[in-house]
Structures are given as C-alpha cells and as structure tokens.
Chains A and B, each alone.
With several copies, the nearest count.
Chain A
C-alpha cells in the first residue's frame, strides 16, 4: 500500500458514493468533489452521468484552476443552461449524488453558507449557498465534506439555515416526494453517516490513527459511536495513480488543505504549471 495524504483518502471515500444512477452535477470548481467524481467515472462508475458548468454528459477531465471549465465542454454530449439543468436534474428527482462543503453543518444536515452573526448585520458575510438549499434536499445522496473537522464547523445547530436535507430517513423522504438516500459526512478525521430520522449521525469509519474520542470531541452534534468501528478503506494504488497522474497532476485538491502561510506560494506553483501547459499547447 502506498503512502497517501488525507485529502486523497477523502477523495476516494467520496468517490465511492458516486454510482451510475441519476446525474451528478458540479457547480463551482471545488477540487475535492470534482476529483471524486472523475475518479468514480474512471473506475467503478463509467456510466455515471456528469454535468459540470453547462456541459451535460461530460467525459472525465483533468483538474486545473484555469482550464477545468473548458475541459468540461470538450467531451460533453450536450449543452444546457442553468434553468434547464435545475428543472431537468434537481427538481425532477434525477439528482444522484451532491457533494457540498459549507461554513457550518449540523446534526440535522442543515448548512450555513450565509452569515456568521446576525443575518442583516453579519460579522462575516459568507458567499451564500447558490443552489445548495434546494439541491441537498432533492438529491438521492448528500455528501458533506470538510477539510477541518472541528466543533466550530460541525455544530449542534447552525445559527442560520441556508439549506437543509429536510427529511432524513428513507420513509419520510419518500413520503415527501424525495428520493431516499443517506447523508454521508467525509472529513479529515472520519466518515459519519445518517439515514434514519430518529437516530443521530454515527461514525461509519475512522481514518488511520484517529480515535472515536477525538471525533466525538471535535464534533458539535451528537454522535452514535458503534462498538466496533472499521478504519476508512485506504486508497488503492490504482486510485492514487489516477489521481496523481491523470486527474489532478497539478495538485488542486491539496490547495484547500494548505495552511494559510503556504497557500499563496502553493497556488503560484500550480498556476505556473498551468501557464506552462498553455504555452506548450500554443507551441511557445
């Protein structure tokens, strides 16, 4: 087994949720989620139907900050716009898996992407949720991922609900006209899952070297702790090779895991590599 980094473990775990039923939609370029979708499509889910930007029926693409959007269109079967996408995927129960990150997340699978502090007079005005409020409710599976698992992010109750899963258990979801499916949380420490209305999230697996105690301590909401918790399945050599050589050779996923000081220098290195690739492409 090769060495791997925690963001690679997370990509592989998120990828495992991607299957061939329903459409997977990628909005903003969020490298970890994008990498997971590409990995799934290149491995166990070749028929996964991907939509990114307004490219529908995408081929898998290489990640880059400056060209990922262009890549999305190159192998795509169809062009739509936002409105057709939301009506034909999100609202018509054709959504498969949605992987989101948010400023805060709680035990009812509610997210806050709006504000820290009062809504009208925010201490920190967050970016807003785009389509998340509707999407996380409608999709069959919700995957939430967090590079830093801590009780300020995973809170007992978000102070402002930008959006929510609405119904959790399969039965109550189906009664509300929603596709049944779980909420899976993938963090730098563990994998949490919730699929019943009356039970809280439980720890599904722990990353190597992480204890259940640490996870409970770092989680603001109630957790069920099974007696016997497996270790999160490690990435395979094949997955790592695909990730490092094909899907994300410049290392865009790791960027979100860089400490503050190193971030800009790391970004510059990625952008230098992308610039060079463009120069090569035009024969300079």
Chain B
C-alpha cells in the first residue's frame, strides 16, 4: 500500500516560496498550526494564504513576513480582539488582500474541486465586495428562468494544508469535530498535505469509515503532528488553549521578535514541550471532557 507519510520537517519540500496556500480550519478550530510554525521555521516568503475564517494561523504567517497576499472572508481572534498583525500589515500597505464574501470564497473552492470554471448562486446582492473583484465575481443569467445570479470563479490553490484527527499512510483522512472548509480546500488544490493528530493503520480508518472526509487519492503527504492545531482546538482531542492565545496577543503588544525567534529556534517537538507543556496537555484534553450539554430538565 502507498506510504505517503513524511516528517513535518519535510514540509519545506512541499511548499515553495510564492505558492498559493489554502489553510484549513475555521474560527478557532483546527487550523494547521504545526504546519504554519514549520513554514515560519522554513522562512517561506511571498505566499498567498487562502482562509475562510482565519485566526492565529494567518496572523502568525503575517508576523513572520511569509505572506504577500491574503485571501479571506474573515480573520479574527474573536474574544481576544482583532488579529493584530493582520491589521498592522494591511493598514501599513505591506500586504495585499482579497476580501471575499464567505459563500463566494467557499463556492469558488468548490467549483475548482468539481471541475467547473464557475458556479452560480443567489449571491451577496448589495455588498460592495464583488464590485472590487470583477475577476472573481460576475453576473450570470439562468438560461431557463432568466433569473440573474452571482457567478463565483473557481479558485485553485497550489497546495492545501489541512489538519485531521487521523489519517492512514495512503492519506485517507478523518475528522470527528469541525472540518470547516478543509474538504473543499483539499479537493480544489493541486497538492494536498494532511497533518493529523495521529497516523493510524488502515483498519482504524475502515472501522470509522463514516468519518473519512478526504480519501487518499487526493493526498500527497501525511504528517503526524500531535497538538498540531494548538493553540487552536481540535475537537475531540483538545479544547482552546485560551491562555496561549492571550500570550500571543501580549507578545504582539511587546514587539513580536522574541515570539518568532523562539519558534524558529526549536523543533515542533520542542514547541510542544515548551508551549503546550506535558503537564498542561491532559487539562487541554479535559476542556473537551468538561464541555456540557444541557437538557430541559436541567432547567
């Protein structure tokens, strides 16, 4: 059976300077942070990042001067504020951007994945965004009803990096919780890199076949990266490391060089030891255990 497993350190051979990179995850969930850190270590330059709802993944790449362009529908640290480097770099004119409507961006990725140059939908009528990007949004009339629809153009990333719960060596990748637009990114991209909490054997995949969202034939490389979404979540493996998100924001306020230097001077295993912490790991997993469902009888 094909074996696509490589080490995180080999990421640099799979992502080139200048590539258009789709980064998975959404909100605070499941961004491929171990891969992002590796891109920072590799000092990748001039990347275009594509994100639906980005977070510290995008912000860290901006801080590290790895991006020339960001395509997004939202980038936010939610309760922890606006994404600081996202603001700084765009406001200073140092990075160009394409702000898309969420559905336009998602359906653009979908279009590429299903082999059509565009898809129509009942679009964001009245929004000022489409007018800024005539190469991405157009109008199209239904040939049957005459209804005017929004057309969104197919978007093809050079590479998609998404973080899964587990994958087998062939690349069959599974999610249990949030998968966001990971599947659409993988289907749209020229090359697909799966990072995952755990590489498992095929039998484990078969036993949970309903959780396989990206089948192996799409996948070029499988990378085991435990806590690979940290400090973001990967449900059900761990909850949000809000404390380290706060540290991130605080480090930004103090100038960010120390934060970057630390990441560049260590391996991902070092990062896990230093930032996640052996003693903290079980508690971060416990954040999932303590999460509560309510029933009307609780009331």
Q: Do chains A and B touch in the complex (CB under 8 A)?
A: yes
Query: B3-17 vs A: 1/0 string, CB under 8 Å?
Result: 000000000000000
**Cβ of B147: which chain A residues have Cβ within 8 Å of it?**
177
Contact of A129 among B73, B282, B298 (CB under 8 A): B73
| Interface set, chain A 86-123, CB cutoff 8 A to B | 86-88, 90-94, 110, 113-114, 119, 121-123
Q: Point out which of B180, B181, B217 has the most chain A C-beta atoms below 10 A from its C-beta.
A: B217
Q: Is the CB of A94 within 8 A of B87?
A: no
| Interface set, chain B 107-148, CB cutoff 8 A to A | 107, 110, 113-116, 121-129, 132, 147
Q: How far is the CA of A56 from the CA of B213 in the complex (A)?
A: 11
Q: Is the CB of B99 within 8 A of A81?
A: no
Query: B260-299 vs A: 1/0 string, CB under 8 Å?
Result: 0000000000000000000000111111111111111011
Q: Considering only CB atoms, which chain B residue lies closest to A160 in the complex? A: B128
Contact of A161 among B110, B127, B202, B209 (CB under 8 A): B127
**Cβ of B168: which chain A residues have Cβ within 8 Å of it?**
77
| Interface set, chain A 193-214, CB cutoff 8 A to B | none
| Interface set, chain A 23-73, CB cutoff 8 A to B | 23, 27-29, 31, 38, 42-43, 46-47, 49, 53-57, 59-62, 64-71, 73
Closest chain-B Cβ to A159's Cβ sits at a distance in Å of 9
Interface size class of chain B, counting residues whose CB lies under 8 Å from the partner chain: 35 or more
Closest 5 pairs between A and B when the two form their complex, measured CB to CB: A131-B102, A278-B286, A133-B124, A71-B291, A67-B291
The reply on A279 being an interface residue by CB < 8 A is yes
Ordered by A's residue number, 26 sampled pairs between the chains whose C-beta atoms are within 8 Å are A27-B27, A28-B27, A28-B53, A28-B74, A29-B79, A57-B212, A61-B291, A69-B240, A73-B236, A74-B293, A75-B293, A77-B215, A82-B26, A83-B183, A129-B74, A130-B74, A131-B102, A134-B104, A161-B126, A161-B128, A166-B126, A241-B299, A246-B299, A271-B243, A281-B289, A281-B290
Q: Is the CB of B178 within 8 A of A125?
A: no
The reply on A171 being an interface residue by CB < 8 A is no
Contact of B101 among A20, A29, A131 (CB under 8 A): A131
Q: Is the CB of A57 within 8 A of B125?
A: no
The reply on A284 being an interface residue by CB < 8 A is yes
Q: Is the CB of A70 within 8 A of B235?
A: yes
Query: B224-235 vs A: 1/0 string, CB under 8 Å?
Result: 000000000101
Query: A1-38 vs B: 1/0 string, CB under 8 Å?
Result: 00000000000000000001011000111010000001
Q: Is the CB of B28 within 8 A of A77?
A: no
Residues of A within 8 A of B (CB): 20, 22-23, 27-29, 31, 38, 42-43, 46-47, 49, 53-57, 59-62, 64-71, 73-79, 81-83, 86-88, 90-94, 110, 113-114, 119, 121-135, 137-138, 160-166, 177, 238, 241-242, 246-247, 252, 255-256, 267, 271, 274-275, 277-282, 284
The reply on B216 being an interface residue by CB < 8 A is yes
Given the contacts A129-B101, A163-B101, A278-B287, A69 and B78 also touching, CB distance less than 8 Å = no
Main secondary structure of the interface of B (DSSP, over half): mixed
Interchain pairs with CB closer than 8 A, number: 309
Given the contacts A57-B216, A275-B283, A91 and B187 also touching, CB distance less than 8 Å = no
Q: How far is the CA of A131 from the CA of B129 in the complex (A)?
A: 12
Closest chain-B Cβ to A280's Cβ sits at a distance in Å of 7
Contact of B125 among A64, A137, A242 (CB under 8 A): A137
Contact of A246 among B28, B90, B102, B298 (CB under 8 A): B298
Contact of A78 among B87, B123, B172 (CB under 8 A): B172
**Cβ of B213: which chain A residues have Cβ within 8 Å of it?**
78, 81
Q: Is the CB of A280 within 8 A of B290?
A: yes
Q: Is the CB of A83 within 8 A of B110?
A: yes
Q: Is the CB of B102 within 8 A of A130?
A: yes
**Cβ of B72: which chain A residues have Cβ within 8 Å of it?**
128
Given the contacts A91-B121, A164-B127, A177-B122, A67 and B115 also touching, CB distance less than 8 Å = no
Q: Is the CB of A133 within 8 A of B102?
A: yes
Q: Is the CB of A125 within 8 A of B283?
A: no
Q: Is the CB of B181 within 8 A of A81?
A: yes
**Cβ of B27: which chain A residues have Cβ within 8 Å of it?**
27-29, 53, 69
Q: Is the CB of B101 within 8 A of A87?
A: no
Q: Is the CB of A65 within 8 A of B242?
A: yes
**Cβ of B26: which chain A residues have Cβ within 8 Å of it?**
53, 82
The reply on B52 being an interface residue by CB < 8 A is yes
